[in-house]
Amino acid sequence: MKPTTEVEGIVLSVQDYRESDGIIRLLTQDKILSILARGIQKQTSKNRMITAVFSHVRYTIEQKEHGLSLLYYGNVIDSHYKIMEDLMKSSICFVLAEVITRFHGNPTIYMLFDKCLKEFQNDDAKAYNYACLLLAQIIQKEGIAPFVDGCILCKRKDHLETLSVTDGGFLCTTCNHDRILPRSKQEMIQIRSLFKANEKDFTQLNEMFAFNLDDFIFWVEWLEKCIHFNVSSLKFLKSVQTLT
């Protein structure tokens, strides 16, 4: 057997490959690995159980600098099995996985996705907080964060009443001129906090605010509109939302 290495991460996706193989996208602390898993489409495969989407796993692989790494064996640290039993939770996580795969990961993204999965597994609504924080981190990394230090048009810092996707930030009552529905003061504070929070502030933000599905969808759509990136799994999530 060729030299191997151990990797730990979260399974973002598994794509069928050839007749019976699969390609795993594994989110690690600092990158996304593409790993060839031979024979996992077969019911008798010994590795089939360790490749479930959203599982936290540890693999022994033959890592290659170029091309696909090769999975030898591994174990499941946490399966997060309840997520795949819930259509809404799994749909949200598929959206997150697609976004992470497109923009890649880092230790903060890994930590937030891991916390989000754990909270969904435990039926905690705080999972939405971590999901929105994750999106905010990617939005900032891409340089498309909303301007939240005042009105984006006139720069005044008082009488702020809404957030404009078209203009790219907060608007005051004068500049908005009844174009966009006003948001509550609490909503405006929540949005500003989302984009001003450092990692050391995440715990406090999680205790202070309660984001929801509408917030999550709003920030995914912000990504789509600002960089013309189509999140294909979002359409299915919206269809699930109409059923609830």
**Residue range 190-212, pLDDT digits in tens:** 999 999 999 999 999 999 999 99
Mean pLDDT along residues 108-137: 96
How many other C-beta atoms lie within 10 A of the C-beta of residue 64? 14
CA pair distance 236, 169, nearest whole angstrom: 28
For residue 227, give the amino acid letter. Answer: I
For residue 5, give the amino acid letter. Answer: T
pLDDT tens, residue by residue, 108-122: 999 999 999 999 999
CB 117 within 8 A of CB 97: no
pLDDT of residue 6: 96
- Nearest to residue 214, comparing CAs of 76, 92, 65? 92
pLDDT of residue 204: 92
Report, in this order, helix, strand and coil percent for the chain, each rounded to 5: 45, 20, 35
pLDDT tens, residue by residue, 47-93: 999 999 999 999 999 988 778 999 999 999 999 999 999 999 999 99
Residues composing the chain: 244
- Residues contacting 193, CB < 8 A, separation 6+: 201, 205, 208, 209
- 228, two tokens: 């013309």
pLDDT of residue 63: 84
- Residues contacting 178, CB < 8 A, separation 6+: none
Full-model pTM = 0.93
Strand 32-37 versus strand 69-78 pairing type:
parallel
- Residues contacting 196, CB < 8 A, separation 6+: 148
Strand-pairing partners, residue 5, are 61
CA pair distance 182, 200, nearest whole angstrom: 31
DSSP structural state of residue 42: S
pLDDT of residue 221: 97
- Residues contacting 189, CB < 8 A, separation 6+: none
